[in-house]
Amino acid sequence: MSAFAETSLPYRQLVVFDFDHTLYDGDSGSHLVAWLAKRTWWRRALAVLAAPILLPLVAWLPTRRRGISGFLWIATVAEPRAIEALIDAYVAANAASIRARLLPKALEVLHRHRAAGDRVLVATGAPPELARAILDFVAHQDLPIVGSLGERFLGGYVTTEHCHARNKMRMIWDHGYDRIGIAYSDSVADLPLLQAAAKPVVVNPKPSRVAYFRRVLPEGTPILNWGCASRAGD
């Protein structure tokens, strides 16, 4: 039986964690795609040629899914294995570096919520299979995860549902979750998530975004650093 079995509390608050730069130091999806793309010289060359078109798409929120899909397609085109098998191969080949990127303070907070009987959900822009494989290192195999979804297209994979910004909230509701008690995230793209929570907590924000968070979130919102050296927070 899981150590985090259901408890008999009358109401268990929902606590939502972002994954990248919140539980994990970096962008896990980008790390996966970069590793996949570097496997062969022609994928690397194609990624370099496409970068002037795809990088601006990634940088702009309304087109981010298309830019990410372009890089993911380049990294997986002509690959016969399913994306789940590719993720397993990536995690196995990079286990030490991936484990080192998990943030101990973040995991301590996550564990504390689960031990207290809270319902804990990870909502991430990464594929849920990737976040789950990474969290398996720290024995959270049963943790619910909502993440970006993909499918095959012209011989490679593309992102069809990006769990990001307002669409992250839609995907959370579509999975049957109700009001959010606490939300943890680093990103201004997650403002819909933070603003929906009774208690938003900003974690590991970019230094340039701290003033913005203080302006748009309730006074007294914690802005914390959980171990990302390049990020801001108390």
Residue 62, pLDDT above cutoff 50: yes
pTM: 0.92
pLDDT number for residue 12: 86
pLDDT for 2 beyond 60: no
- The string of pLDDT tens digits covering residues 177-233 is 989 999 999 999 999 999 999 999 999 999 999 999 999 999 999 999 999 989 998
Residues in the chain: 234
Residue 29 is predicted with a pLDDT of: 96
Tell me the two tokens of residue 7. 């408890």
pLDDT of residue 40: 95
* Residue 158 phi, psi (nearest 5): -130, 160
**pLDDT number for residue 109:** 97
Q: What is the pLDDT of residues 159-190, one digit of tens each?
A: 999 999 999 999 999 999 989 999 999 999 99
Under the banding of pLDDT at 50, 70 and 90, the label for residue 138 is confident
Report the distance separating Cα 206 and Cα 156, nearest Å.
33
Residue 147 contacts residue 62 (beta carbons within 8 Å): no
Sheet holding 197-203, edge to edge: 145-146, 119-123, 14-17, 180-185, 197-203, 223-224
At 36, which amino acid appears?
A: L
pLDDT at 111: 95
Q: Which domains does the chain have, with CATH numbers?
A: 14-224 (3.40.50.1000)
Chain mean pLDDT for the chain: 93
56: tokens are 């601006």
19-30 pLDDT tens trace: 999 999 999 999
